[in-house]
A and B are shown apart, each in its own frame.
Chain A
Amino acid sequence: MTDRTAELEPPAIPAQPKPPGPLKEFWNSFKENRGAVIGLCIFAAFLFIAIFAPWIAPYDASEQFRDALLQPPAWQEGGSWQFPLGTDPLGRDMLSRLLHGARFSFFIGIIVVSLSLVTGVVIGVIAGFSPKWADTLIMRVMDIILSFPSLLLALVLVAILGPSLINAMIAIAVVLQPHFVRLTRAAVMSERARDYVTAAKVAGAGRFRIMFLTVLPNCLAPIIVQAALSFSTAVLDAAALGFLGMGAQPPTPEWGTMLAEAREFLLRAWWVVTLPGVCILVTVLAINLMGDGLRDALDPKLKRS
């Protein structure tokens, strides 16, 4: 019977842990993916290098040392610690050039993703809210852009605009932007009929407010994932354009351009060919690892792979 009195007492509520905030929740599921965390660390390192390249790099990216042409890396015979990763055919320090190259790659990634994301999302939201004819028109235009192989279209655009890094970035942004449009439109369409949108309408929210402040924030998850993947595509495509001579022009220490310059020394000096490629691969891989993690953490509906 003592139990009964005990029951009457207010039960001791165990201290409920506060529900994790959205950021915390995201981080908890992101950190479960080991690959994604590794990707994030590498990305952070590259970000650091990209920002501080001029202070970390031992030399200027275009400084030439005429008495040390094609010097091998320090650990090889003939190398010295003066140039830890060797020098290129013009006697420039490889390490310094690679460090500065990180700058360009990130610059490219940021600009291209911002350009294609902003235009793509705006067009996508508009398409999602437009009458059927306008929506069809917009989507047909996107279909047209998508029916050209991306690199080919970028090459042709650069041929029109003239070969330079800026034009290469514009071209890549144009090629990547339809993906954002499609994704945003699809997300907007599925959100548009929800009750909270109707509620906002009833409350008298304007069209613009509903489009960009009510609906768009709820469509962000797939867009963020796409942004990460586009970043890696941008870095790869810019390097490919640089390699074909249609991107950054020498002596810019852009990794793809460096590879193109080094091609004729393919057989004589492995380091001038191998190292820029390793940098591209590691960066792109890190971003893709992160993108996979982001996808799993933000959008459980999407397939885990």
Chain B
Amino acid sequence: MLQFLFKRLLTFVPTFIGVTIISFAFIRLLPGDPILLLAGERGVAPERYAELAAQFGFDQPIWRQYLDYLGGIFQGDLGISFTTKRPVLDEFFTLFPATLELSLCAITLAVIIGIPAGVIAAVNRGKFFDQALMTTALTGYSMPIFWWALLLIIVFSSGLGWTPVSGRMSLMYFFDTPTGFMLIDSLLSGQEGAFRSAVAHLILPTVVLATIPLAVIARQTRSAMLEVLGEDYVRTARAKGLSPLRVNGLHALRNAMIPVVTVIGLSVGTLLAGAILTETIFSWPGIGKWMVDSIFRRDYQVVQGGLLLIATIVMAVNLLVDVLYGMINPKIRK
């Protein structure tokens, strides 16, 4: 097991270095001079240009620049946002809880609905219920989620007036946010209605973000269950006279869960990609919207830092999934 862990960690290192190279190359690949871009239309005096070039290290040879950049990363220095003048890392950690809260709610919703739906479809294979569920799942999987978000806003926000259109919290409430999670902070604030407002703001973004993972989980659960339901031990369990709930829920599902858990773990990338669209539409102040805004504002230090941080998160979660998978299933620890 230790050897497996070590081997897996070892593949993490070159990938991480590759990711740093890509995020480093990003600013250098942009068309035009980054300093002139930063200066904007007013232009910049030659002395000031040299000063700025020295400040950002652009006057150094490229390998030197990269090593400095790498050194900075290990000291937690990802540069400073051009627009807010705050360190990129600080900005990231201010906004990350919003994305994390939304993603956790979305994945919870996807699991709570997706797994039972997949199980029910598998048990009723070929029947109407199965077909209806799987058609719905494929529709969800094919959904352009930015459009789906707009539709939900038309119906639930403007039509029925049930949920707010954007943001995380009604402006009526003001309180400290020690954890950054609105659901927790609003409860801690003790203000009446604050928690309800937080939930109301969360519902639509959660549904939108959960749509694709939900469909994937339902489909994966169904196919994993179908495979397991044909196994001998399931037949034995049935022959023993166990109730269908026990057979399907306890014996079969537990073994069908292995691929499903992997899919759940690997959907982190999907969630973060989905967060870009979801957060933009619902003006959700998380890292997805932050990245899109920064690209439009040409705040390239932020884009560079964000790219690195997001890729690192995805890689770390994938690594964790792999290791957990190896723990559950000794067969892959070759």
Q: Spell out A's residues near B (CB within 8 Å).
A: 35, 140-141, 143-144, 146-152, 155-156, 159-160, 162, 232, 236, 239-240, 243-246, 256, 259, 263, 266-267, 270, 273-274, 276-277, 280-281, 284-285, 287-289, 292, 303-305
A305 and B222 contact, CB distance less than 8 A: yes
Q: How far is the CB of B93 from chain A (nearest CB, A)?
A: 18
- Among the listed stretches B40-48, B61-69, B141-149, B180-188, which one makes contact with chain A, having 4 or more residues with CB under 8 Å of it? B141-149
Say yes or no: B19 contacts A147, CB within 8 Å. Answer: yes
Instruction: State how many angstroms separate the Cβ of A296 from the closest Cβ of chain B.
Output: 11
CA distance A172 to B179 in the complex (A): 37
A263 and B150 in contact (CB under 8 A), knowing A147-B314, A156-B303, A304-B223? yes
Q: How far is the CA of A143 from the CA of B203 in the complex (A)?
A: 34
28 contacts between A and B (CB under 8 A): A144-B19, A147-B19, A147-B311, A151-B274, A152-B273, A156-B307, A159-B30, A160-B26, A160-B31, A232-B142, A236-B142, A239-B146, A240-B277, A243-B144, A243-B146, A243-B147, A244-B277, A259-B146, A259-B147, A273-B147, A273-B150, A277-B148, A280-B144, A288-B138, A304-B226, A305-B134, A305-B223, A305-B226
Question: Do residues B272 and A152 form an inter-chain contact, with CB atoms below 8 A?
Answer: yes
Given known contacts A140-B18, A141-B18, A156-B295, A266 and B307 CB-to-CB distance under 8 angstroms: no
Q: In the complex, what residues of B have CB within 8 A of residue A162's CB?
A: 31
A270 surroundings in chain B (CB, below 8 A): 154
Q: Which of B19, B31, B154 contacts A266 (CB 8 A)?
A: B154
* Other contacts beyond A144-B22, A274-B151: 20, CB < 8 A: A143-B15, A144-B15, A147-B269, A148-B269, A149-B310, A155-B276, A156-B26, A239-B144, A240-B144, A270-B154, A273-B150, A276-B147, A277-B144, A277-B151, A281-B139, A281-B147, A284-B143, A288-B141, A303-B227, A305-B220
| A176 CA to B273 CA, complexed, in Å | 14
Interface contact A280-B147, CB-CB below 8 Å: yes
Tell me if B276 and A151 are in contact (CB < 8 A): yes
Chain B residues near A287 (CB-CB < 8 A) = 142
Nearest Cβ on chain A to B158's Cβ, whole angstroms: 5
Give CA–CA (A267, B154) in the complex, Å. 7
